[in-house]
Amino acid sequence: MNYSRRHFLRMSAACGLGFAGLRTLAGCQTYSADPFRYGPLVEDPEGILDLPEGFRYRVISRVGRSMADGFLVPGLPDGMAAFEGPRGLTILVRNHEVNVDSDPAMGPFGEDYSLLARLDPSYLYDAGTDGRPCLGGCTTVVYDTATQTLVSEHLSLAGSLRNCAGGPTPWGSWITCEETVERAGDGLAMDHGYCFEVPATLEPGLAAPVPLKSMGRFNHEAVAVDPDTGAVYLTEDTEDGLIYRFLPDTPGRLAAGGRLQALMVADAAGLDTRNWDVRAVSLGQRMRSRWIDLSEIDAPEDDLRLRGFAGGAARFARGEGMWYGDGKIYFACTSGGPDRNGQIWRYEPGDESLTLFVEAETAGLLTNADNLTVAPWGDVVVCEDSAEDDHLVGISPDGDMYVIAHNVLSSSELAGAVFSPDGSTLFVNLQVDGLTLAVTGPWA
């Protein structure tokens, strides 16, 4: 019988099924000894987020609310990173995936753009050609985990488009990524498809909107920085995307230029890792990799991935979330695997090895992995973006999975999961609902 995933989770909670070390017949997934490591999820009386007993959440930010700088909280919150601030405060930098055709109410300037006059035009990347600026960008949330209270919010990048995910840097900034390749014209004054750097600041202020063109123009999704070398790794959210590496000329100075490369599996030029029609990669398979240089990385056509693949780079199925932790880089491919339910890969810069860490199956604990982070104790915490209902799922270094939370408010994806520097609080977004939550409990 092919049980649905929701049925599987319900039966697991009711029966306490043990799955210690058990792999499915397809060899695609490992369950933990208890898929509810923290206990069964408890129905939320507010109808927003089900959590295990002993955990609780607070809604700390909501779309449309006025911020400290007078702008409004934009909609569609997505990727985030948390930084340590003074006096124990957490500085949370947050993306907003507002696109070119989004409702003006999703932007920071109000439905009639009346708040645009408050903005210094030099801090607006794309003001548009018809008085309607691009409404994507970033906001910064200052939060006190000791009292679990919001301190302030402010706009920190303006005028970009479809800021999906990104990644933190070791020097205290957030790299935000545009998941679009819109070109100037039809109301747009600037080309898009770039990364931008946003300092994590306590006081209200906007980052200079400088596109990091040396990091390529494509459907950017997320980045991860290796603190030992300063190399920046990047995902591409397309069905036939690549994994990239940016080697800055001067580590820590990304705007000063550098070299962009694509990941290639050694001795397997043009490997299709998606496992759609042919299983090219087995679960747990560890492969040697190398990197090939790319040219014309700012080409007007969206063909960088095609030229890279023709040159031997490996192909991936919708590279999305990416995070560095304990010398490893984890990244999600949302539609990888025979069932197109997603994969999670692990790349180890030390020996340049690539391993298929997880491949999700129908009715399993994980479906369509998107944003992810590495918890303070080493587990990967994954946001789902499925067609049905979405969960937060934890994965141990051994590949054991367990459920952390369930979005019961809507069918919106969960996005931007990240822990506060003190490890006490997990922040996560309900994207379509425009909510940012702070989750506390007996972690680990």
How far lies 153's CA from each of 56, 91, 117, 148, in Å?
A: 22, 10, 19, 15
Q: What is the mean pLDDT of residues 308-332?
A: 98
Q: Give the start-end residues of each E strand in 241-366.
A: 244-248, 258-265, 286-293, 319-325, 328-333, 343-348, 353-359
Cβ pair 417, 432 in contact under 8 A: no
Q: In which band, very low, low, confident or very high, does the pLDDT at 370 lie, cut at 50, 70 and 90? A: very high
Q: What is the mean pLDDT of residues 245-261?
A: 97
Q: What is the mean pLDDT of residues 335-361?
A: 96
Q: In which band, very low, low, confident or very high, does the pLDDT at 33 lie, cut at 50, 70 and 90? A: low
Phi/psi region, residue 47 (left: phi>0; alpha: psi -120 to 50; beta: rest), is: left
11: enclosing H helix or E strand? helix 5-15
**pLDDT at position 408:** 98
Q: What is the mean pLDDT of residues 132-161?
A: 98
Q: In which band, very low, low, confident or very high, does the pLDDT at 387 lie, cut at 50, 70 and 90? A: confident
In whole angstroms, give the CA distance from residue 94 to residue 77. Answer: 7
How far lies 8's CA from each of 17, 29, 43, 109, 237, in Å?
A: 10, 14, 17, 45, 30
- Residue 395 token pair: 């994965």
**pLDDT at position 157:** 98
The residue assigned the tokens 């299983």 is 279
Q: What is the mean pLDDT of residues 148-170?
A: 98
Type of residue numbered 319: G
Q: Is the pLDDT of residue 26 over 50?
A: no
Q: What is the mean pLDDT of residues 377-381?
A: 97
Q: What is the mean pLDDT of residues 114-118?
A: 97
Lowest pLDDT segment from 7-21, 71-85, 146-160, 427-441: 7-21
The residue assigned the tokens 């490997």 is 271
The residue assigned the tokens 């030992």 is 228
Q: Is the pLDDT of residue 16 over 50?
A: no
Q: Is the pLDDT of residue 75 over 50?
A: yes
Cβ pair 406, 397 in contact under 8 A: no
Cβ pair 264, 258 in contact under 8 A: no
In whole angstroms, give the CA distance from residue 293 to residue 311. Answer: 9
pLDDT digits (tens, 9 = 90+) for 201-225: 999 999 999 999 999 999 999 999 9
73: enclosing H helix or E strand? none
Mean pLDDT, all residues of the chain? 92
In whole angstroms, give the CA distance from residue 99 to residue 76. Answer: 10
Q: Is the pLDDT of residue 3 over 50?
A: no
**pLDDT at position 361:** 83
Q: Is the pLDDT of residue 72 over 90?
A: yes
Q: What is the mean pLDDT of residues 328-340?
A: 97
Q: What is the mean pLDDT of residues 296-304?
A: 96
- Residue 128 token pair: 């548009």
Tell me what percent of the residues of the chain surpass a pLDDT of 90.
Answer: 89
**Beta bridge partner(s), residue 328:** 325
pLDDT digits (tens, 9 = 90+) for 402-412: 999 999 999 99
Q: In which band, very low, low, confident or very high, does the pLDDT at 22 lie, cut at 50, 70 and 90? A: very low
Closest to 309 in 3D by CA, of 264, 260, 342, 356: 264
Q: Is the pLDDT of residue 15 over 90?
A: no
Lowest pLDDT segment from 13-17, 173-177, 180-184: 13-17
Q: Is the pLDDT of residue 11 over 80?
A: no
Q: What are residue 217's phi and psi, to 5 degrees?
A: -115, 110
In whole angstroms, give the CA distance from residue 358 to residue 264. Answer: 20
The residue assigned the tokens 């009386």 is 45
